[in-house]
Amino acid sequence: MVSLLAAAVLWGTVGPAQLLADTDVAPVSLGACRMLLGGLVLGLFTVRAPGLQSLWRPGVRGWMVVSVLVTAGFQACFLESVDRTGAALATAVTFGTVPIVSGVWARLLDGERGGAAWWVGTVCAVGGVALLLMPGEGARAEVPGVLFGIVAGCSFGTYIATTKQLARRGADTAAAAPVSVLCAGAVVSPWLLAAPGGLGEPRALVLVGWLALGTTALGYLLFTRGVARVTAATAGTLSLAEPLVAAVLGFVLLGERLGVAASCGAALLLGGLVVVSLPARERAGTDGPAAARDGAGGTDGTDRTDRTGGVDGTVGIDGVDGPVGIDGSGGVDGVRGAGVGGGGVVSGPGSAPGRAVPARRRTPGPPRPPTPSPRE
């Protein structure tokens, strides 16, 4: 969760940085530069040949196309919303939509049900966003800007669900993120030719550098590492840290004053983030037996406490005599020591596949008669 929150903080600086730079660059052109440079730098550090190959497997290619399209939609619509409505309001609208969309996709695609903490945290966070949306002094609540923010939020919520689907299908998400960003930049790159004005300004170059390196390359790297460890619904709720960061920066750096309602919204939003970020309790009475049955920490030997290496046969007859199995030469299957005492499966070269090897128990012999004492 720390990685996701760090990514959200970085992304929360996008809107304030865009307005603080005060350049003449068109928002979509700015997004194209951000994605092309950021995706290229991110790819140099994360993409490897096997990872690229994993993106073109059957069942993965279609999700990669979705990832590219929603990334392009998010970047273009979000920056356009910031330009029209301001940093705090645009970020609040965008990322107030994200947890709803990501939660719906999680339910439809994976059957994930949000737990009590997610529901409480999401309700608090969305309520906080609603309070932030209430116009105050200096607010520019233009309807087109709000609509751009909603489309951006739907796009990012879909991107979260898409990333989960890619990981589930064996795609290398470390390669998927830069490929998605770089290809999305190529999709919107025609705007660079249609509206190139202002790109050569020093302030614009600094802005592009921060957006590409800080918020895109580093931000997507942190997001990719963190999103695989939580549900899509939780990832969407944690993204609500972005409007909080944008609201604070907008107030401090841009003079976007927060009224009473907006201040209460920021506090409620922070409270929702705290609730959803709390680590889940381990339910020893419920999860323990299940874990023991499915091998997460029980009978498959991955984490047994009563044996050195468990009962799956990877360490020999009784789990204490090394990784060589029954005859000391590599185990029953001749490769990894399927073992005898742990129910290992005979599946190696030269063996009959799929036959479980039963545990061999020592049968105790008859009791020995007592030895007479020398005095007797």
> What pLDDT does 267 receive?
77
Instruction: Determine how many CB atoms are found less than 10 A away from the CB of residue 137.
Output: 10
Q: With a threshold of 0.75, does the pTM exceed it?
A: no
Instruction: Determine how many CB atoms are found less than 10 A away from the CB of residue 196.
Output: 12
Residue spans of the domains in the chain: they are 2-277, 295-358
> What pLDDT does 318 receive?
36
Evaluate whether 330 touches 324 at the Cβ level (below 8 Å).
yes
Evaluate whether 257 touches 25 at the Cβ level (below 8 Å).
no
Q: Is the pLDDT of residue 360 over 60?
A: no
> What pLDDT does 246 receive?
86
Which positions ≥6 away from 217 have C-beta within 8 Å? Answer: 38, 39, 41, 42, 45
Q: What residue spans of 86-142 are helical by DSSP H?
A: 87-110, 116-133
What pLDDT, in 10s, does the model give residues 75-130?
999 999 998 888 877 887 887 778 778 878 988 888 877 677 778 877 887 787 77
**Is 274 strand, coil or helix?**
helix
The span from the first CA to the last CA of the chain, in angstroms, equals 76
What's the CA angle centered on 147, arms 34 and 265, to 5 degrees? 90
What pLDDT, in 10s, does the model give residues 179-208?
999 999 999 999 998 888 888 899 999 999
> What pLDDT does 88 receive?
79
Helix/strand/coil percentages in the chain, nearest 5: 60, 0, 35
